[in-house]
Chains A and B, each alone.
Chain A
Amino acid sequence: QQQVKQSPQSLIVQKGGIPIINCAYENTAFDYFPWYQQFPGKGPALLIAIRPDVSEKKEGRFTISFNKSAKQFSLHIMDSQPGDSATYFCAASQQGGSNYKLTFGKGTLLTVNP
């Protein structure tokens, strides 16, 4: 059973565009929602994370929008650049009780054309 569903599988935008990647979760006990960026041959790097007590979080060009009632969250990349071309993973965990197991989506391959 896939607990975190991510879409789209791949996404192509032009430089300066605003790609949006969406995730939906099933487990209402999840209370930590990070996004990771992964380049080919590298490990995932934490991009930005949000907790369900806020509806939006912005760090630089990256913004997470969170809808607790719909159990959905999304990543927006403002003014996208070719260097943003990578695979993006959403994840979720239930950190209460010191549980650090992350459940990942299947990833979105983002291509930003010059």
Chain B
Amino acid sequence: DAGVTQSPTHLIKTRGQQVTLRCSPKSGHDTVSWYQQALGQGPQFIFQYYEEEERQRGNFPDRFSGHQFPNYSSELNVNALLLGDSALYLCASTGWGIGNTIYFGEGSWLTVV
């Protein structure tokens, strides 16, 4: 049973560019969340998707957007990249309902130069 899978593993972008990160949730999970983890910090919640809709959003600007597909996979898009966007981007999945464990993927390392 595959866990949460993310791609790409590492990428380098130039300031001002746009990036798309991808996530496939754990089998049986229908809810996907994205987190940003800066070096030496705890993960920060970006947003959560369920039934292809953004259900919750953390304190991140509109440059951060997402999408969930009918097969529950998800994309995180970041526009107009800033140096400060350099971080590990984590995808987490769970099943919709109360009491379900949240699993994380290995993350995508984004470096903005």
Which A residues fall within an 8 A CB radius of B? 6, 32, 34, 36, 42-46, 49, 89, 91, 93, 95-96, 98-107
CB neighbours of B105 from chain A (8 A) = 43
Size bracket of the B interface = 20 to 34
Q: Do the beta carbons of B98 and A95 come within 8 Å of each other? A: yes
CA distance A103 to B48 in the complex (A): 13
CB neighbours of B97 from chain A (8 A) = 98
Q: From residue B9, how far is it (CB to closest CB) to chain A in Å?
A: 10
Q: Do the beta carbons of B45 and A101 come within 8 Å of each other? A: yes
Instruction: Pick the 3 closest A-B CB pairs, nearest first.
Output: A104-B42, A43-B104, A43-B106
Q: Which of B40, B90, B94, B106 contacts A100 (CB 8 A)?
A: B94
CA distance A93 to B31 in the complex (A): 15
- Residue of B whose beta carbon sits closest to that of A2: B42
Q: Do the beta carbons of A103 and B101 come within 8 Å of each other? A: no
CA distance A102 to B44 in the complex (A): 8
CB neighbours of B92 from chain A (8 A) = 100, 102
CB neighbours of A96 from chain B (8 A) = 98
Which residues of chain B from 91 to 113 have any CB-CB distance to chain A below 8 Å in the complex?
A: 92, 94, 96-107
CB neighbours of A99 from chain B (8 A) = 56
CB neighbours of A6 from chain B (8 A) = 42
Known: A43-B104, A46-B101, A46-B103. A104 touches B56 (CB 8 A): no
